[in-house]
Structures are given as C-alpha cells and as structure tokens.
Structure 1
Amino acid sequence: MLLTTIRDRIKSEFENVRDVEAGGDFFFMYKDEEKFPFATIVTSDNDFDSVSNLNRDGFYRLNIGIDKATFQQLFASIPAKAGIGGYVDSGIDFTEVNTLFPHPFYGTMYWVSIVNPAEDSYPQLKGFLDYAYEKAKMNYEKGHPAA
C-alpha cells in the first residue's frame, strides 16, 4: 500500500484526526492533542532509529499503539529488554516488508510496527487503529471535560 493510501484512510475513517508532519514523518493526533499520537508513519532513518533502513526509496513504517493483552498474544515469545529500545537486539529483522513486529524502540510500551504493509494486512491494522484511536479519544476527553 502506498503511504498516501494509509494516511488518507486514517484521516477519513476516524473523526477529529489531524496528522502533524515533522521531518517527513506523520503523527496522527486526536483533535488538538499535541504530545501523544495514536499512530505514526516514519519515512526515513534518523540518529535514534535506523533499524528499519527506511532511507530506501519508497519505504516507510507504520507504528500503532495497541493494548497490552493483544501485544502479549502476538509477541510473548520474543525476548525483550526493559525500557526504550527493548526489542532492538531481539533478533527481529526490522527491515522485512509487510510483517508485523514489536516497535523496535517502543514495543515495551505496546507499540507495533509494519514496514510497507500490503492491502491484505489492512484489516488487522484497522483493528489496531480502532483501538489506538478510541484510547486517544478517551484520554483526550479525560483531560478536556465538556463545558
């Protein structure tokens, strides 16, 4: 799937979503949330994260925050270190296309990633996006009670 296809779907399938672009990457926020995206699309390597080799032409990685139970069902067998970067040295090939894996740096916070997902992966990803969006919406509304 093209990056623009996923980006357009997220913006059209979920209400009150805005995507903030920074350095060619996209951060999907609920309403005017400024700090916590529910999903991101990363389009290039940087000094902090280069394990997916995204500097290849046309490559990107979709990242989504999911729930702990689902994350553990998917990845319980993969050893991780505690903290940020917990999956970097886990033996996962983070460059593999259309394969769901724990986010190399934020997997310990229950984020999943997929490089250049294919159309047949979207139903599963949509389920993850549904959860992430609802969680972001709930968290936003807790901090912004109706007047």
Structure 2
Amino acid sequence: MMELTELIDTITADFEKTRVQEKDGDYFFFYAAEEKFPFATIVTSDNEYDHVSNLNRGGLFRLNIGIDKSTFAAMFGSIAAKAGIGGYLDSGIDFTEKNKLFPHPVYGSMYWISIINPERETYTRLNALLSLSYKKAVGRQRDV
C-alpha cells in the first residue's frame, strides 16, 4: 500500500506545476494558479455528505480523479446508475473495498473515479488516469 504522504509526493512530482491545498485533512491537487477545479483529491475521513467508503475505519484515504466521459464509459458504462449526484450509491458497488477503482460514490455522474488506499503496483494505471485529468486542467488554464 502507498502511504498517504508517498501518494501526495508522487502526484506532485509526476505532474509539473501541481499545487496541493490541504483543508481539514483532505488534499486538493490543482494545476498552476487554478483555485476552483482540482484534477484530483484525496479524502481522509467521512463527512456528512460522503460516508459510504467508511474511511473512519482507520488509516484509510480515497484518491479521487476527474476523467473524461469516454474513458469513464469504457471503465464503468456497464454499471446501471441513476442520473445526477449520488447516482451510483444504489448500484451495488462496494465503496469500501481497498485498491479497486470504482465510480466516485457521489460524483461518479460527473466522471470522477475513486480508489481507496491504492497499492504501489496500481499507481501505473492511476498515473495514466491522473495524466488524463491533469491534461484537462492544463487545457482549462490555457483557455482562460
């Protein structure tokens, strides 16, 4: 398993001009001067809006990555979901399983994916997905 600090350090080293903002123990990864739309986040505990991963079990964190529609559909298109926020909550997915990619429990309908406590070997696949999200963030800054 990758430790939280190792994952944070790896993401910031792998993606140029990445800025990490910590708030209440959670981490938001932004490209350059971006302030609103992180390309990835790490949550370290449950809260009133999102507790389905049961992160308060101790030592757990969930990496969340915003990808594009076509990649998301290729990965999870076969899973039935309701439209809108929280659309995957009743889909039968185990949102507590470690080292397994799944649609974000709340923001899956916005093409966010998640993984709890990824293993180092999983990071290669995650890096490709992070790269996709990072490139979207870079593009948004260039469009400004």
Normalised to the residue count of structure 2, the TM-score between the two structures is 0.97
What count of residue pairs does the alignment treat as equivalent? 143
**Residue 99 of structure 1: aligned partner:** 100
Aligned to 1:90: 91
Off by >2 Å, runs of 4+ in structure 1: none
Identity of aligned residues (%): 60
**Unmatched runs of 5 consecutive residues or more in structure 1:** none
Residue by residue, what CA displacement relative to the aligned partner does 1:11-34 show, whole Å, maximum 9, x if unpaired? 111111111101100000011111
Summarize the alignment of residues 36-55 of structure 1 with structure 2, pairs less than 5 Å apart: 36-55=37-56
SS in 2 for 1:55: helix
Q: Does 1:68 align with 2:72?
A: no
Counterpart of 2:135 in structure 1 is 134
Deviation at residue 128 of structure 1 after TM alignment = 0.3
Once the two structures are TM-superposed, the CA of residue 97 in structure 1 deviates from its matched residue by 0.5
The whole-number CA distance in structure 2 between the counterparts of 1:49 and 1:31 is 28
Structure 1 vs Structure 2 CA RMSD: 0.7
Please give the TM-score of this superposition, normalised by the length of structure 1: 0.95
Within 2, Cα distance between the matches of 1:75 and 1:129? 17
Please give the alpha-carbon distance, in whole angstroms, between the structure 2 residues aligned to 1:58 and 1:137: 32
Q: For the residues of structure 1 that align with 2:77 and 2:139, how far apart are their CA atoms? A: 27
| One-letter code aligned to 1:3 | L
1:7 pairs with 2:30: no
Cα distance, 1:71 vs. partner?
Answer: 0.8
Q: String of CA shifts for 1:67-101, please: whole Å, max 9, x gaps.
A: 11111111111111111111111111100000100
Q: How far apart, in 2, do the equivalents of 1:110 and 1:86 lie?
A: 11
Q: How far does the alpha carbon of each residue in 1:21-61 deviate from its partner, in whole angstroms, 9 at most, with x for none?
A: 01100000011111100000000000000000011211000
Unpaired segments of 5 or more residues in structure 2?
none
